[in-house]
Structure formats: structure tokens, C-alpha cells
A and B are shown apart, each in its own frame.
Chain A
Amino acid sequence: MTYASAALEAFGALGDPTRRAIFERLAAGPSAVGALAEAMPVSRPAVSQHLRVLKEAGLVTEIPDGARRIYRLDPRGIAAMRDWLDAHWTAALDAFKDFADEETDTETSANRETPE
């Protein structure tokens, strides 16, 4: 997975309000699935599913603690998100240039074909 796509995945994963709430709870401190489910109006399987998405996006990571697993924020995922803006503006301006130059070329050739 490229850096940019990792950041984008992280971006998408936080688009869901429940996942963002879970993410913010984990920002306050590591937690087990059960404790998260108790603190939120969401079932335990749903919390597990959200955690899986957050983990795949590189935003959270799990630590084994005996039979349970404790979830915490993954600092590497956050760094990728920080880079998102940088990658974003580079891609956006490149895309703008392609679009603007194409428009200009079209306008120029149209003018040439129909001289005033």
C-alpha cells in the first residue's frame, strides 16, 4: 500500500461517525472491546467490526493482554494522516493544471478554427 493510499484509507475510515467516536475514545486511552461497547450505544460485535476497519486503515493497533485484546491508537497511522494534506495539495494542483491546460488548448484551437 502506498503512503498516499494509506492516508486516504485512514481518511475514509474516520468518515463514519461511530468509528470516529471509537477513535476519539481510544485517543483518551487504550481500551478493551468490552469497555468500548459499554461506553457506547453500539453492540459489541459492531464495535469489533469498527475496530477491524480502523486497524486495517492503520489508525489503531491491538495489544494482547491475557485472553483479551487492548486497542490503542497506532502512531504510524496518525503520521500518515498528517501527510495527507501535503499529498492532497500536490495531487490537487497537478489535477488542476491538467484540467486548466486542456480547457485552454480547447479554447485556443476553437479560436483558430473560427477566426474573428
Chain B
Amino acid sequence: MSIAPIVRTVQVKASPARAFELFATRMADWWPKGRTVGKNPHVAIVAEPRAGGRWFERDAEGQETPWGQVLAWEPPSRLLLGWQLNATFAYDPDFLTEVELTFAPVDGGGTLVTLEHRDLERFGADAARFAEQLGAGWPGFLANFAQFSDSQKFADTQT
């Protein structure tokens, strides 16, 4: 089962190089509050600037909670992150979905930032492990997920 990726775009005034820098190295400054997985509020969100680097949040006491890893660090045009929070939002080193950011210059200045979160069927596979255990229970679980993913209108821009 393949599921259409989530694709979102946003245009910013900064150049691609600056947009990349702000996105990748100032995450804690813009990441929506409360949308993190650590036990305590985050004070830092770090994507280490190299392929193979870690991607994690850190709280005020220095406790780190992993989110995944950096798969490609290619300023000014591309950042590829590995999202390793599974269907129950727990970090799982054996689970990985890709989040790709591209930064493209726009005529007249500014940058078009495109985010694609793909391999979503792996959430389905993870969820299917639950579903298998359920037997007849939890009807429509995977169908709901496929429907939600396919309903993303922006996904059409990928084809």
C-alpha cells in the first residue's frame, strides 16, 4: 500500500541560503510551542549540520528526546530529515519516514519552501502491527489513514 505524501509549500522573503539557515539552525525559534514529544517543554531543537547527524529536542534540564536524524544537509537548496516517531509518537530507531525540505529562489526575490513528508505507508505498517493483533477490531483504521493522506490536495503537485 502506497500513500500520497503530505506536501506543503510556503513562500518567504529571505534568500534560499538564509531561509535554509533559519529553518535548519533556528528550529526552536519557530517550531510551534507544545508540538514536541519530550516530557518537558523544549528549549532547543537541534538538527546536527551533517548527514548522519541527530535530530532532537532538549529541555531546560538538558534532557534530550530524539526525533530522528539528518539524512542530507545540502544548503542552500535541500534538507532531508528522518522522522523516527512512530504511530504512537514514540521514537523508534527501526522506524523512519522522510521529511524533505527544498528551498527554491522565486522571481523578484524570496524563496519557495516545499516540505514533503513521505513514506507514510510505514505508519500504516506500524499501525498494521496493532491491527493484526486486533483481529476483527478497530475497523477502518488503515482506510482512515489512507483517506486522510490521499485527501491532501497539494499532493497533486508532486505527480
Query: Residues of A at under 8 Å CB distance from B?
Result: 8, 11, 14-15, 20, 23-24, 27-30, 72-73, 75, 78-79, 81-83, 85-86, 88-101, 103-105
Contacts and interface: CB of A to CB of B under 8 A. Distances in A.
B35 A72 contact: no
Given A15-B37, A75-B141, A97-B12, A27 B130 contact: yes
Given A100-B12, A103-B14, A82 B31 contact: no
18 contacts: A15-B37, A27-B133, A28-B134, A29-B133, A72-B137, A73-B137, A78-B144, A86-B152, A89-B8, A89-B115, A92-B35, A93-B8, A93-B9, A94-B10, A99-B22, A99-B30, A103-B22, A104-B14
Given A28-B130, A78-B127, A100-B19, 20 more contacts: A8-B34, A11-B35, A11-B37, A15-B37, A15-B39, A24-B88, A27-B138, A75-B138, A75-B141, A81-B89, A82-B148, A85-B120, A88-B32, A89-B117, A90-B8, A93-B10, A96-B22, A99-B29, A101-B12, A104-B14
Interface string B67-99: 000000000000000000001111000000000
Contacts of B88: 14, 20, 23-24
Contacts of A15: 37-39, 89
B41 to A, nearest CB: 12
Contacts of B8: 89-90, 93
Contacts of B31: 92, 95
B26 interface: yes
Q: Which label, helix, strand, loop or mixed, suits the secondary structure of the A interface?
A: helix
Given A20-B88, A104-B12, A73 B138 contact: yes
Contacts of B6: 85-86, 89
Contacts of B141: 75, 78
Contacts of B140: 75
Contacts of B11: 97
Contact of A88 (B9, B29, B35, B87): B35
